[in-house]
Amino acid sequence: MDQSPAQAAPNPPPELPHAADPAGRGFASLKLRLIMYLVLPVALVLGGLGVAGFFYARDYLVEEVRTRGQITLERAAHSIDMRLAQPGEAVELLNALEGFGPASLVNWKEHLAKVPGVERVSLEWLGEREPQPRAMMRGQGPGRGAGRGEMGMHRIKLAQVTNPRYDTAAGQRTVNLIFDLSDEGGKPAGRLEVVMRFGYLLQGLEVFTKWKTDKSFLVDETGQVLAQGGDEKRVERLGEDGNEFELEVLQEILKKPAGTLLGPGHPAEEVAGFFRLKKAPWTLVLFAPGQQVLGTIIMFLRIYVVAGALAVGLVLLLILVITNKVAGSVRTVCQAARRVAAGEYQEVPTPKSRDEFRRLADSFNTMVEGLQEKERIRDTFGRYVDPQVARRLISRPEATALGGDKRPVAIMMSDIRGFTPLVERLSPEETITIVNRYLSGLIDVIARGGGIIVDFLGDAVLVFFDSLDRGPQAAARQAVCCALELKEATEEFNQRMRAEGLPDLATGIGVHAGEVVVGNIGSTARTKYGIVGGPVNLVQRIQGQAEGGEIIASQAVLDALGAQLAVSRAFEAHLKGVEGLVKLYSVAGLASCAEETA
């Protein structure tokens, strides 16, 4: 109870927004905001253009690869078809010049054996009747072929082209071309089998020589590899090792005569093209690495990424250079604002430049001077305002307006008994010392109990306990508990006074509950936060009925607390301004006070 009101510890200053980041390194810092709002859009635009350009160029190049691949494969297939067609063209020519019959078999064999690439020829006569004399061809004299009795074929059809196989007689791989010969009546007249060297068919085949690092194949309808180019490991059949892309290509070969496929990956790891021959059931297949096919666009993408990164870096550097001074000035003001919030009134250095930051520094320093002046006023007169009232008004700015609300409260009034005779025996200095020490302890007890001091009336103090937060019953309980604690604190105070040779103080306390007007009383020039109403006058009369060291409560307090309130005596009294007798109770204790202090 020896601590004076002026010695109470000041409340800690409120935290500023973003107080955890005094250096301004958070997202809200000016530098980071500029980086996010400028660099990020630039990066997104450049990245978007790069991605769009990549996909556009990729599609264009892929289409170009497809076209070029199809042309290359078509040329290669045409080269093989031309060589396969040579025996058939020779047969057509021989049929037109000499006809076909038993007498001409030897002559046909001799001529067909001279066709390039032909290893040997086998002719078989299937006619069932003797050949009839042929009509003489236009321009043909009566000598050559006119009387030989040979007949011309009505149809010559390439019936089968076998897969290449090793011919022991020829000592190399050969292919058999089988032709069906029919007469004018459509009946089989003969069969021609031409054995050609497979190597001859592949002569000049660019698809096997141009792409040395690629996989190129000549396959049949089952996927069996007839010939292979490139330096890859030799395989017998497409997809034999479970390669899903090769199996997919094989499926497409069965569906259509030509096409291009992209393998898995982005960009594709492989690009495949195929083209089916016309003269044989074979298909040319080419596999090219995606890196090789899309190498140009990949290089373009890399160059674009590097150029975009350099552009973004340049923008970032410009932002850092431009905002470094700005961010430094703002950071200085923010740090100074934190010190001001902590009670250290320090001005910021004034920049030499004559810009907005010079104005900001001047305005901040003017603000600091004003705050210093207000702090001096607060230090001088702040002791006359209850800190709880001040905090309530600060937290609720609307409560500073004149007027108030009518609501139930609990009221306590404490007064020193025999104070006037005591003053007459003591010197003024001793009187002020005793009263200040007593009131210091009283104020501490009231603050812990949640009371709001309305006024000091000489040696008396008027306190109320608001029901706004916890209700009327809790307010009454707070008032009684505070009165009991104040009684104990007064006894401890008297023990110290006796030890110092000073007289004891006896206090009487009155407690009442009722409905009053709570708010700001006064004018715009001078305002007081307090209570007004009949219960205020009544508590003063109740306090007058208390003896030294006694707490007197009204019937309203007993009704609010019920059996929790312990009463030592009950009596009736005439109170000034009140008609009839008023029932009053001497408080001995309250069971729920332990909960309040907890």
Encoded tokens for 181:
């010969």
- Measured between its terminal Cα atoms, the distance across the chain in Å is 20
d(CA 103, CA 327): 109
CB atoms within 10 A of CB 535: 22
Phi then psi for 322, rounded to 5 degrees? -70, -40
d(CA 252, CA 482): 95
Is 385-597 in CATH node 3.30.420.40? no
d(CA 502, CA 494): 8
Phi then psi for 11, rounded to 5 degrees? -70, 140
Helix 356-381 to helix 295-341 angle, to the nearest 10 degrees? 30
pLDDT tens digits in sequence order for the chain, 598 residues long: 544 443 444 444 444 444 444 444 444 465 677 667 777 777 777 777 777 776 777 677 667 767 777 787 888 888 888 888 888 888 888 877 777 666 677 788 888 888 888 888 888 877 654 444 443 333 343 334 433 445 566 677 888 888 888 777 777 888 888 888 887 777 888 888 888 888 888 876 655 555 444 678 888 888 888 888 766 678 888 888 888 888 888 899 888 888 888 888 776 778 888 999 888 888 988 887 777 666 666 676 677 778 777 877 777 777 677 667 666 777 777 777 777 777 677 777 776 666 666 777 778 778 877 777 777 656 554 554 555 556 655 555 555 556 678 889 999 999 888 777 777 777 888 788 888 888 888 888 988 888 888 888 877 899 999 887 788 999 999 999 999 999 999 899 888 888 888 778 888 999 999 999 888 777 766 777 788 899 999 999 999 999 888 999 999 999 999 888 999 999 999 888 888 899 999 998 888 786 655 4
d(CA 487, CA 480): 11
Q: What is the pLDDT of residue 541?
A: 92
Asked if 117 and 86 touch (Cβ cutoff 8 Å), the reply is: yes
d(CA 91, CA 508): 143
Q: What is the 3-state secondary structure (H, E, C) of 17-35?
A: CCCCCCCCCCCCCHHHHHH
d(CA 194, CA 116): 12
3 state SS of 567: strand
Q: What is the pLDDT of residue 594?
A: 67
Q: What is the pLDDT of residue 508?
A: 92
Residue with the two structure tokens 């009566």: 142
Q: What is the pLDDT of residue 181?
A: 83
d(CA 233, CA 56): 35
Encoded tokens for 171:
């000592």
Q: What is the pLDDT of residue 206?
A: 59
Asked whether the CA dihedral 424, 426, 427, 428 is positive or negative, the reply is negative
d(CA 446, CA 487): 12
Q: What is the pLDDT of residue 170?
A: 73
Element (H, E) at 315: helix 295-341
Q: What is the pLDDT of residue 585?
A: 94
pTM of this structure? 0.43
d(CA 40, CA 29): 16
d(CA 320, CA 310): 15
Q: What is the 3-state secondary structure (H, E, C) of 92-145?
A: HHHHHHHCECHHHHHHHHHHHHCCCCEEEEEEEECCCCCCCCCCCCCCCCCCCC
Tell me the residue type at 227: A
d(CA 463, CA 386): 11
Asked if 551 and 484 touch (Cβ cutoff 8 Å), the reply is: yes
Closest CA to 221 of 285, 166, 172: 285
Closest CA to 81 of 304, 283, 262: 283
